[in-house]
Every structure is written in C-alpha cells, then in structure tokens.
Amino acid sequence: MSDSLFISAGEFSGDQHGADVVRLIKKAHPSMALFGLGGDPLKEAGVTLVEHNNRLAFMGLGEVLRNYSFLKKVMKRMLAEVDRQKPAAALLIDYPGFNMRLARALKKRGIKVYYYISPKFWAWNRRRLKALRTYVDQMFVIFPFEVALLQENNISAMYVGNPLVEQVERVKTASREFVPWGKGKRIALLPGSRKQEVERILPVLVNAAIRMQREIECSFVLAVPSPYIAQVISNMDLPISIKIIIGHTPSVVDQSDAAWVASGTATLEAALLNIPHVLVYRTGVLTYRVAKAVLDISHVGLVNILADREVCPELIQREAHPDALVDRLMPLLEEGTPRREMMEGFASVREILGAKSSADAVVQQVLKAYSAG
C-alpha cells in the first residue's frame, strides 16, 4: 500500500465538505497523494481528479438508468487508478448509489474504507445496512440520531458534527461579499445543484418571482453553485431583474430576507443562517412515485426531519406552483407568528447538531490508517 488516499464525492455538497477535509490533510501531510472523483472544490484543495463529477449529478431513477453505461465506465476508470496507486485507505463522501458499489470493490482489494455522510438508510432502502456492515470500516455521520441506528446493526459509526455548522460560522465572521441586490425585500433563489432539478425547479421560482414583484417591492438573486450549472441556466430565459451569482451561495442566503430553496443541504444551510425559507421540489413522475412508495419519513426537508415537525413549508411536485410559493413566503417577510415560530425551530436544530468540527474529526480518524501502517 502507498502513502496515498482515494476520495470519491459525486455531488457538489459532498465536494465542498470533502475539500475541508483535504485542506486539513494537506496541512498535516503535505506530501500525501490524494486522487479520485470530485469537482472544483476538491481539485482546488489538492486532489488529482481522475474524473470530474459535473457529469455525474443525476437526479431521479430515470436519469440514472439512462446514464448507467457511463457510470460503469467511470467506476472502471476509478478502480484502474486505485489498482495503479494502491492507496491505504479510501474516503467515500455521500453519493450512495455509486459509492456503495465502490466500497464493495475497494474492500475486496484490502483497502480500508471510510464513509463520510451516510446514505439516508433511515428514509429508505434499509437493505444498505448489510452492505455498510460488510464493506465499510468506519462511518462518519453528520446527524446525531444516525449513530444509534447504525450501531444497532453492528456498524461502526461516530458522530463527527455537521460540516454546515462550521461553514456557516465562516460565512458569519467573514468580510461581507458584494451581492447585487435591488430595492425592497431580498429574496434568494436556490434551485439546486443538479442539472435535472434546476431545469425542473428554476422555471417555477422565476414565475413566482415575477408574481411577487407585482405585489411588493423586492429583488431577487439566483445563487448558482458552479460554472457548470451556470452554463445550464444560460440556456434558459430569465428576466433581467433576476441577478445571478456563481459560487457564493452562503453569502447570498446570509444577506437575504427569505428564500425559496430546493430540497437538500441548502435548506439546512439556510436554517443555520437564520433565513426563513420555503422548501420547493419537483422531480420526474417515475422517481416521485417510487420515492413515495418506499420513503419511511413524514418530512422531506432536513430541517423538518431533524426537528421532527414542520418548521419550513414543503411544496412538492404539483404543490410547487408559483402562487403557492408566493403565498407561503409572504408571511415570513415580516415579524409575526410564522416567522417567530420558524426561528424557534431553527434554534432547536442548531442545538441538536452541536458545534463539533466535522472535518477535524474525520481527518484524525483517517490518518490513523497511515500511522498504523
């Protein structure tokens, strides 16, 4: 085994969290070779990319099936590089459909497998618990309730803190970035980080913004996570009044009065920044029907799941239409019961997550594989 670490992050949020880990590893071991699957944040942090993940951000069962042969080719390239470099350990980050198959192949090669940001087995597909027990040496989870569920199934797991807590603190203490707001209430638009979800959700957000501008004085900034998604959006017809910011989503959210947010980690980020928001989500009909049949949770948004109640309104599929978006957001723009109750919910979520440094905890555990060697 060599003094190298394989990393796999197939989506933007995992890419960001992985970059925090990599920077700390590079600080402790500047000469360590890091390689694998990721995007711009991991590349900038010091990972040599075997494959860029901008072509892997598929959403829904239909999209995955249509791209299955491509995913197999990516897997083959990853494993070929693993066989060449022979790393002592691998750090797999979220993206379970791909990374669980990767874990199996890595374990067969005698590589120690760490998994950061657990598959959402508690929501659906509990069959993954057997695979986690068999192919993963250590789980690093970011929600406290996951530890007991995994340990009950004889899976080694530790709560390392939630990386968004630390990232949000950096935003709050950093110098204020320029965001091109106009007059009136400031509304952030967060349509997601995958091509397919942006194409489905952004038109709804735009139409809601047009309607809201007829009712009150307000301005909108569209927060785009990456240049790749910016390219996707460039093919869409956006009103000139909606400004676009690439790569500074936390700053846009932090400076807003409220937001419409696609389901995912962005909802939790908005909550930690104390920004009232409405969760919006649309996916393919097949994906939605399958999910509705197998999901074992009463809420979709992470904030509501953690609080175990509806803190933020959830508008899903047909419920996610412009009129509903405006009607649910308007009461949150002024002081009153809806806004106050949402703030109280955010406070409870922050208390649940605590203030541990997620990246520090992950690095300490991963480096043990090398010190032991």
Separation between Cα atoms, residue 145 and residue 160, nearest integer Å: 12
Quote the radius of gyration of the chain (alpha carbons, Å).
20
For each of the domains in the chain, give its residue range(s) and CATH number, in order of start.
2-161+356-372 (3.40.50.2000), 173-353 (3.40.50.2000)
Closest listed residue to residue 2, CA positions, set 110, 97, 94: 110
Q: What is the pLDDT of residue 162?
A: 94
DSSP bridge pairs for 189: 222, 260
Closest listed residue to residue 293, CA positions, set 63, 61, 119, 101: 61
pLDDT by residue for the chain (373 residues), tens only, comes to: 568 999 999 888 899 999 999 999 999 999 999 999 999 999 999 999 999 988 776 555 556 566 678 888 999 999 999 999 999 999 999 999 899 999 999 999 999 999 999 988 776 656 789 999 999 999 999 999 999 999 999 999 999 999 999 889 888 888 888 999 999 999 999 999 888 889 999 999 999 999 999 999 999 999 998 888 999 999 888 998 999 999 899 999 999 999 999 988 899 999 999 999 999 998 766 665 655 545 556 788 899 999 999 999 999 988 999 999 999 999 999 999 999 999 999 999 999 999 887 899 999 999 887 776 5
Separation between Cα atoms, residue 209 and residue 188, nearest integer Å: 10
Q: What is the pLDDT of residue 351?
A: 95
Q: 114: part of which helix (H) or strand (E)?
A: strand 112-116
User: How many residues would you count in the chain?
Assistant: 373
List b or e across 109-126, with b for residues whose CB sees 16 or more CB atoms inside 10 angstroms: eebbbbbbbbbbbbebbe
Task: Using alpha carbons, list the distances in angstroms from residue 153 to 116, 122, 127, 149.
Answer: 18, 12, 11, 7
DSSP bridge pairs for 52: 38
pTM of the entire structure? Answer: 0.84
Long-range contacts: 166-173, Cβ < 8 Å, 24+? 166/20, 166/357, 166/358, 166/359, 167/16, 167/20, 167/250, 167/269, 168/250, 168/269, 168/272, 168/273, 171/250, 171/251, 171/254, 171/273, 172/254, 172/273
Q: Which tokens hold the place of 21?
A: 């880990």
List b or e across 52-69, with b for residues whose CB sees 16 or more CB atoms inside 10 angstroms: ebbebbbbbbbbeeeeee
Q: What is the pLDDT of residue 288?
A: 55
Q: Is 304 exposed, middle or buried (0-12, 13-18, 19+ CB in 10 A)?
A: buried
Q: Which tokens hold the place of 354?
A: 């605590």
Q: What is the pLDDT of residue 296?
A: 53
